[in-house]
């Protein structure tokens, strides 16, 4: 056994190649990747989906799926080659010298064990400490990750904690044996922006205090700007750029890095002269949605998903609703489409109240409002051809089949896809292409109002930029009103004329985008802006 070498890098990856099973889209998941993580340093591994960044993390931890094999190169942890280390050795090293923080804290924790017991498992496995010593150490660690009331947290089950608190427990578990290397695989992606800011701060503090090397995997350049010291950019399994943060972000050398950074929307709102006299397409008056949870034996519980929401959208304009998860922004959208029935208030569509219409009365009005959903992989029926999906709506409203197909072809042109795609099934398309198909499907109804419910949130940044540009172009060309729902302030800044900020079911701030972004009035809005990752960092700016 080699003694850990304190002077050298904590992690050294040399010419690492990992092969994919035959029949994949490429031969290697990772090819010839080399980088190092030094003591007390945070290295960010950035890339879009499929770039192989998670595979690298798994290979370091020895957690590669059976189908993937290390084809070449070496992984050195404090000078020790662990590329082909036996399972027993890897088990010794995990938690003691390297540990991992996962993306989804709810699934990373065992739901039937208390948080304390789960941390205790790490200690009893790797140390000779007595139960009382272990307990003391755990309570100290819980305090160190800034969780209140360590005794209560120790005895809590994961579901009793919030997402941010759970992630702190996962970090505590990773940190407790003071490992030399922590691998954080998208640790803040599943969290709200304000929680994300706190977790990033925590990781930075702890890492500085313990001198840990951190390999931080992310797709978000805002997070990179916030936390990284050095950055490695991956594209399709190849390392295209590796260097100091400011070097890479401000003066990128590779075309791909340039493109990625260009695709990051800026936080500065685009000032557009919105016509204040355009006809109002949608007006919400005192819209509320209350869920009543009537248990059999339990007390009646009311959840106000949305209360007293007043908004309006004019033709040719975009209203953005921003907020964190559970703020009620999707509830509003679903009330407008009448996928759910509002509890009270009015939804005026070109002056006509649709909030209380019966399904029969609603049917002719449905085509005026169309929605695009977040998850492109679930918003198309996997067993129907793309063409069938697009002509479904027009056929419902009595358009002839051949006419509908003709129109679908034109729409495919509009969303820049090959009309021949109409004959194919959804699984033959990538996420961005599917989202284009969903846009075409919505446009086939010739709506007056287009609702985009987190429509670009599931997409990679470069694809996100393309879809945003497309939406913007369509809105302008067809003079549509658009309701754009997002948690991402950068996206909202780029596309919205007006912005409503929602928190706990209420609109806390509502006004022109330039006003809200440049002069936020409400405390919550300010907190939201302050939490936006990379807000102080000027990315090589803007759209050409």
Q: What is the binding site for other proteins (CB under 8 A)?
A: 23-26, 47-51, 235-236, 255-256, 259, 262-263, 337, 339, 363, 366-367, 369-371, 373-375, 378-384, 389, 392-393, 396-397, 427-433, 438, 441, 445, 460, 462-463, 465-466, 469, 543-544
Q: ∠ CA(369), CA(374), CA(378), 5° rounding?
A: 100
Q: Six-digit token pair at 508?
A: 């806390």
Between CA 347 and CA 476 the distance in angstroms is 24
CB of 259 or CB of 527, closer to other proteins: 259
CB of 31 or CB of 370, closer to other proteins: 370
Transcribe 116-159 into DSSP letters. Answer: HHHHHHHHHHH----HHHHHHHHHHHHHHTT-S-HHHHHT--GG
Q: Six-digit token pair at 504?
A: 């706990």
CB of 209 or CB of 543, closer to other proteins: 543
Q: Six-digit token pair at 263?
A: 């695709």
> Which of 364, 339, 330 lies closest to 350, judged by CA?
364
| Beta bridge pairs of residue 75 | 13
CB of 132 or CB of 296, closer to other proteins: 296
CB of 301 to other proteins, least distance (A): 20
CB of 257 to other proteins, least distance (A): 10
> Which of 99, 113, 110 lies closest to 182, judged by CA?
99
CB of 293 to other proteins, least distance (A): 16
Q: Six-digit token pair at 221?
A: 């350049």
CB of 179 or CB of 393, closer to other proteins: 393
CB of 267 or CB of 443, closer to other proteins: 443
CB of 67 to other proteins, least distance (A): 9
CB of 9 or CB of 426, closer to other proteins: 426
- List the beta strands (DSSP E) in 96-180: 98-101
CB of 384 or CB of 526, closer to other proteins: 384
CB of 241 to other proteins, least distance (A): 13
State CA 422 to chain mean position distance. Answer: 29
CB of 371 to other proteins, least distance (A): 5
Matching residue, tokens 């987190």: 454
CB of 174 to other proteins, least distance (A): 26
CB of 541 to other proteins, least distance (A): 14
Beta strands 238-244 and 280-294 are: unpaired
Find out whether 238 and 520 touch, Cβ atoms under 8 Å: no
Q: How far lies 176's CA from each of 105, 123, 136, 423, in Å? A: 17, 8, 12, 55
Find out whether 452 and 484 touch, Cβ atoms under 8 Å: yes
Beta strands 449-453 and 369-372 are: parallel
CB of 200 or CB of 463, closer to other proteins: 463
CB of 145 to other proteins, least distance (A): 33
CB of 178 or CB of 423, closer to other proteins: 423
State CA 308 to chain mean position distance. Answer: 28
CB of 395 to other proteins, least distance (A): 9
Give the torsion sign (CA, 29, 34, 39, 45): negative
Q: Which residues of 144-163 are buried (b: 16+ CB within 10 A; e: fewer)?
A: bbbbeebeebbebebeebeb
CB of 249 to other proteins, least distance (A): 17
Between CA 110 and CA 106 the distance in angstroms is 8
> Which of 182, 170, 248 lies closest to 217, judged by CA?
182
CB of 445 to other proteins, least distance (A): 7
Backbone angles phi, psi at 360, to 5 degrees: -65, -45
CB of 216 or CB of 256, closer to other proteins: 256
Q: Six-digit token pair at 128?
A: 């000779």
CB of 110 to other proteins, least distance (A): 19
Q: Six-digit token pair at 305?
A: 């998903």
Q: ∠ CA(89), CA(94), CA(97), 5° rounding?
A: 100
Between CA 475 and CA 451 the distance in angstroms is 11
- List the beta strands (DSSP E) in 473-531: 481-486, 498-503, 506-512
Matching residue, tokens 């998208």: 186
CB of 106 or CB of 469, closer to other proteins: 469
CB of 9 or CB of 252, closer to other proteins: 252
The DSSP H or E segment spanning 329 is helix 329-336
């Amino acid at each position: 056994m080699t003694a850990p070498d304190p002077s050298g890098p904590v992690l050294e990856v040399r010419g690492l190649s990992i092969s994919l099973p035959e029949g994949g889209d490429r031969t290697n998941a990772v090819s010839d990747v080399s980088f190092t993580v030094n003591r007390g340093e945070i290295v960010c591994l950035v890339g879009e989906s499929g770039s192989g960044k998670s595979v690298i993390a798994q290979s370091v931890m020895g957690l590669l799926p059976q189908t993937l094999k290390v084809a070449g190169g070496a992984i050195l942890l404090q000078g020790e080659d662990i590329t082909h280390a036996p399972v027993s050795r890897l088990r010794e090293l995990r938690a003691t010298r390297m540990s991992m923080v996962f993306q989804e804290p709810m699934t990373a924790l065992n739901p039937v064990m208390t948080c304390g017991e789960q941390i205790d498992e790490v200690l009893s496995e790797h140390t000779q400490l007595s139960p009382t010593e272990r307990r003391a150490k755990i309570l100290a660690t819980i305090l160190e990750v800034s969780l209140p009331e360590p005794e209560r947290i120790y005895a809590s089950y994961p579901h009793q904690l919030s997402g941010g608190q759970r992630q702190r427990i996962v970090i505590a578990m990773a940190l407790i044996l003071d490992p030399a290397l922590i691998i954080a695989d998208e640790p803040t992606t599943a969290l709200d922006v304000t929680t994300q800011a706190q977790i990033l701060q925590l990781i930075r503090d702890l890492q500085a205090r313990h001198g840990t090397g951190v390999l931080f995997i992310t797709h978000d350049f805002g997070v990179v700007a916030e936390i990284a010291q050095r950055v490695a950019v991956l594209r399709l399994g190849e390392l295209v750029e590796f260097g100091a943060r400011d070097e890479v972000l401000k003066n990128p050398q590779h075309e791909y890095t340039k493109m990625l950074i260009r695709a990051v929307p800026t936080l500065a709102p685009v000032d557009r002269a919105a016509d204040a006299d355009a006809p109002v397409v949608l007006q919400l008056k005192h819209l509320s949605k209350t869920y009543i949870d009537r248990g059999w034996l339990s007390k009646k519980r009311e959840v106000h998903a949305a209360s007293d929401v007043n908004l309006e959208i004019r033709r040719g304009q975009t209203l953005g609703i921003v907020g964190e998860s559970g703020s009620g922004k999707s509830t509003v959208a679903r009330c407008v489409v009448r996928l759910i029935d509002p509890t009270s208030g009015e939804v005026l569509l070109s002056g006509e109240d649709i909030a209380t219409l019966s399904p029969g009365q609603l049917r002719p009005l449905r085509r005026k409002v169309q929605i695009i959903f977040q998850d492109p992989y679930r918003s198309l029926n996997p067993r129907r051809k793309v063409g069938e999906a697009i002509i479904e709506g027009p056929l419902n409203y009595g358009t002839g089949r051949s006419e509908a197909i003709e129109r679908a072809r034109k729409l495919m042109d509009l969303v820049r896809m090959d009309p021949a795609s109409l004959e194919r099934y959804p699984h033959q398309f990538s996420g961005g292409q599917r989202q284009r198909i969903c846009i075409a499907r919505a446009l086939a109804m010739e709506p007056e109002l287009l609702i985009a419910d987190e429509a670009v949130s599931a997409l990679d940044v470069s694809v996100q930029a393309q879809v945003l540009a497309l939406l913007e172009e369509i809105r302008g060309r067809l003079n549509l009103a658009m309701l754009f729902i997002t948690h991402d302030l950068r996206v909202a800044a780029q596309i919205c004329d007006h912005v409503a900020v929602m928190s706990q079911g209420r609109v806390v701030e509502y006004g022109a985008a330039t006003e809200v972004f440049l002069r936020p009035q409400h405390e919550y809005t300010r907190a939201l802006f302050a939490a936006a990752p990379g807000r102080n960092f000027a990315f090589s700016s803007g759209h050409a």
